[in-house]
Amino acid sequence: MASIKLERLVKNYGSFRAIKGIDLSIEDGAFVTFVGPSGCGKSTLLRMVAGLEEISGGTLKIDDEVVNELEPRDRDIAMVFQDYALYPHMSVAENIGFGLKMRNMDASEIDQRVKEAADILQIAPLLHRKPGQLSGGQRQRVAMGRAIVRRPKVYLFDEPLSNLDAKLRVDMRTQIKRLHQLLRTTTIYVTHDQVEAMTLADHIVILKDGMIMQQGQPVSVYEKPISRFVGEFIGSPKMNIISATVADADAETVLENDSFSLKVADCGKVPGETIEVGIRPEHLIPCNKEEALITARVDVLEPLGSDTHAICLVGKQELTARLDPSLALKPGDILYLRAEPEKIHFFDPESGARLEIDLPQQIAA
Ligand SMILES: Nc1ncnc2c1ncn2[C@@H]1O[C@H](COP(=O)(O)OP(=O)(O)OP(=O)(O)O)[C@@H](O)[C@H]1O
Ligand SMILES: [Mg+2]
């Protein structure tokens, strides 16, 4: 196992700076996920850790040793890619053991490690088959097996599940988490799927344009996003953002638009300025008219069985509420909604930065 430190790490592709000075400390045994939109630099950063991409600036340390110039094969890292190529003419066992064979490991030792990995991944009955005789998820596990048998200091995964169907993805996600609980090997896992990023990680890193937007425990990022970007990126369905104008009502600040009204303590804005209010779909609670923060008109209903997503209109703005499926609603209905004060977020409309604004105890308009 190993700790990994990234210090002001930079990557230039010609004149384009893909990674813009990243500081990150990964503890021994941690499971870290990199998540962010396409092109934000996730793969580049991972490949820099692997040694597959030259480092343009800054320092990369593994176990406090600078490894900037160390060859990939000397870093004791195993990487699993999205497009894992298995050798079609070799059996599953030969595929898994191939890397060890290339390192001239003793055949009985290889055999032993392959069996062990196959047990962990529950593919022992498939060891004699060829890759062409396997399902996508089984092939994926063979690719993981190749990484496991190496027993490296660090695992790097780059979207390893993105070729699988939804159900297999969820199954494999559980497998990967179980594997980490068992082996406790330091792991970095790249994904653009925020659910995967949240559920797997001890520590989540949200990237955008080659920079870290926020990092921390998944739940703390979810509860306290540092910006509108992070608030909307983490959580599904995504956070509702309602734009409201600051009105001056009897020395109290009121944020409002046509169908929304909220009293807040001093928000540092003058009447006429706007603020963005963020509330997650799961934090909207149906209530009576007197308690309502938001008056919404139901537009589309999406029943999922476990809950129902109500896509509503608040004035001209769209909003999603995650509701109990037993609620009898139909399109066109008026829905009164409230939220607990600690579940309401505020963002600056220009910078998108989180604003710390206090709400009075009584939040009803
Ligand atoms: N070899 C290269 N030469 C020039 N630019 C590159 C090269 N590789 C990547 N880039 C650019 O660097 C940026 C980061 O790319 P990267 O592959 O790391 O993104 P990513 O976050 O992994 O995206 P995705 O989710 O689509 O895989 C992108 O703008 C990409 O176009
Ligand atoms: Mg990528």
Q: Which residues surround ligand 2, an ion (CB under 5 A)?
A: 43
- Cα–Cα distance measured from residue 285 to residue 338, given in angstroms and rounded to the nearest whole number: 5
Q: Are 18 and 210 in contact (CB under 8 A)?
A: yes
Number of domain units in the chain: 2
Q: What is the pLDDT of residues 244-284, one digit of tens each?
A: 888 875 545 666 666 777 777 667 777 888 889 999 999 99
Kindly give, in sequence order, each residue whose CB lies less than 8 Å from that of residue 222, ignoring residues fewer than 6 positions away. Answer: 198, 234, 235
Kindly state whether residues 182 and 255 are assigned to the same domain.
no
- The verdict on residue 365 lying in a domain is no
What mean pLDDT is reported for the chain?
91
What residue numbers bound the domain in which 153 lies? Answer: 4-232
- Going by pLDDT thresholds of 50, 70 and 90, the confidence category of residue 361 is low
- The verdict on residue 364 lying in a domain is no
Q: What is the pLDDT of residues 92-123, one digit of tens each?
A: 999 999 999 999 999 999 999 999 999 888 89
- Going by pLDDT thresholds of 50, 70 and 90, the confidence category of residue 58 is very high
Query: Among 354, 195, 359, which residue's Cα sits nearest to residue 265?
Result: 359
Say yes or no to pLDDT of 335 above 50.
Answer: yes
* pLDDT at residue 268, rounded to an integer: 74
Q: What is the pLDDT of residues 308-318, one digit of tens each?
A: 999 999 888 89
Answer yes or no: is the C-beta of 35 below 6 A from any ligand 1 atom. no
Kindly state whether residues 17 and 158 are assigned to the same domain.
yes
CA–centroid distance, 30 to ligand 1, in Å, is: 25
Ligand 1 pocket: which of 13, 20, 56 to mutate (most atoms within 8 A of CB): 13
Q: Whose CA is nearest to atom 31 of ligand 1?
A: 39
Q: Which atom of ligand 1 is nearest to the CA of 14?
A: 4
- The verdict on residue 156 lying in a domain is yes
Say yes or no to pLDDT of 206 above 50.
Answer: yes
Say yes or no to pLDDT of 304 above 90.
Answer: yes
* pLDDT at residue 252, rounded to an integer: 56
Kindly state whether residues 264 and 227 are assigned to the same domain.
no
Q: Which atom of ligand 1 is nearest to the CA of 159?
A: 27
Q: Which residue has the higher pLDDT, 183 or 13?
A: 13
Kindly give, in sequence order, each residue whose CB lies less than 8 Å from that of residue 113, ignoring residues fewer than 6 positions away. Answer: 97, 100, 149, 151
In this prediction, residues 188-193 reach a mean pLDDT of 94
- Dihedral pair phi/psi, residue 114, rounded to 5°: -65, -45
Say yes or no to pLDDT of 83 above 80.
Answer: no
Q: Whose CA is nearest to atom 8 of ligand 1?
A: 44
Q: Which of 232, 262, 297 is the last residue of a domain?
A: 232
Answer yes or no: is the C-beta of 192 below 6 A from any ligand 1 atom. yes
* pLDDT at residue 216, rounded to an integer: 97
Q: Which residue has the higher pLDDT, 35 or 317?
A: 35
* C-alpha torsion angle, residues 165, 169, 46, 33 (rounded to 10): 140
